[in-house]
Structure 1
Amino acid sequence: MDPDQQLRNLRDFLLVYNRMTEICFQRCSSNFNYRNLTMDEERCVDNCAGKLIRSNHRLMGTYVQLMPRMVQRRMEEMESKAAENAKAAEALAPSSAQASPWPRATAPRPPLSRNPLC
């Protein structure tokens, strides 16, 4: 895996983790009189985090199953567009070739210089 992909994966993980932390904190933290979590808050955080992790795993499983189909569909769309573009180019090519039966004259190219300063 290339470094850019690793960085994107880490960034995605941190976004999910931060969002999960934010959601569970807002739902479960209610008593700020104590330094530690109360038993109710601790249970709430465990349930909240567990639910979000299970949801994320389920979502990723569905994504992994659907991704090959999505890639295949995109490839087919790209191939059909390429075929349409090729047909359009073929339709234009004979008309431009028939416009002038004479080949185009091109100016001769100057010889390449071996001097790197030129």
Structure 2
Amino acid sequence: MFGGGGMNPRKMQQMMKQMGIDVTELDAETVTITTADGEQLVFEAPEVTRMDAQGTQTYQIVGEPETTDADAPAVEGDAEAEEGIPEDDVELVASQASVSKSDAREALEAEDGDLAAAISRLG
């Protein structure tokens, strides 16, 4: 980020803190990115880092994604296919907002599947 080359990681953290930059490691299990053309990138057990600087949060995801088609037909009789909200998303929102799965699903439906907005709604 700053071209620290051989700089001591501890020194780098001290410099970032002085500049008002806070870096946090997140314990993420799965990260899913859906592109505009319907492709999904699914990162299992990624390394996720959140950087807070000047009121802006930036996330860095490190891992090898599996690529799937978000528009692929769902399995017949699958509850998430009927509702359009993946069960993994429901579980993630429920755990992050400390609410029941039904409340998480309602928030996701109200926010058209937007995870961050659903968590904010419940928070």
Category of TM-score, reference length = shorter chain: under 0.3
Which has the higher Rg, Structure 1 or Structure 2? 1
* Structure with the larger helix share: 1
TM-score of the aligned structures, taking structure 1 as reference length: 0.19
* Structure with the larger strand share: 2
